[in-house]
Homo-oligomer: A and B are copies of this chain.
């Protein structure tokens, strides 16, 4: 289980770093700016979770995460620099990163004995804060607040599924896979069918 979570975490870091590079690249940032936004996207969610849980920050305990984030950033920068990439191409790795991080974050919070509501929201925070940080650093309104195709809500549903299955006695590994499947399925279905949530629509 711990082994599985470790690989999930590394994969999520790599995928998120990639999406951060693409966004930062669009702003004409140089390689250092791109690397910093890439690392903030990749490591931001887990960092905020660890600070909130008063746990040693994961990439300080284990440098592997930091090295994976840096190498992915540099490799992506070199590989796709100057290419004209359709923005929608990155929505699928981004959805995978969301699923991986949400499950990893929820499991870590449960391991620290956080109550279920807090654990599920820390899973959501782990999943979405990296992207929020990326958008704030790029001076945008965070995409997930505006675009209603089930992003944080898909993450929350997956976190709750994981917690519910574990409470029902299902093994941690199976619950983790099921949680990821819920996040991915909801997010991809919402993108395909353009399922959106109600907005506030205050007319001014």
Q: How many copies does the complex hold?
A: 3
Instruction: Give the number of residues in A that approach B within 8 Å (Cβ atoms).
Output: 65
Given known contacts A54-B56, A117-B66, A118-B66, A30 and B199 CB-to-CB distance under 8 angstroms: yes
The answer to whether A33 touches B144, judged by C-beta atoms less than 8 angstroms apart, is: yes
Residue of B nearest to A22 (CB): B202
Out of B24, B139, B197, name the residue touching A139 (CB < 8 Å).
B139
The answer to whether A29 touches B137, judged by C-beta atoms less than 8 angstroms apart, is: no
Q: Which of A7-15, A76-84, A89-97, A167-175 contacts B (4 or more CB under 8 A)?
A: A76-84
The answer to whether A32 touches B144, judged by C-beta atoms less than 8 angstroms apart, is: yes
CB distance from A110 to the nearest CB of B (A): 13
Query: Chain A interface (Cβ within 8 Å of chain B)?
Result: 21-22, 24-34, 36-37, 47, 51-54, 56-57, 59-60, 63, 66-67, 77, 80-85, 114-115, 117-118, 121, 128, 132, 136-142, 144-148, 151-153, 196-204
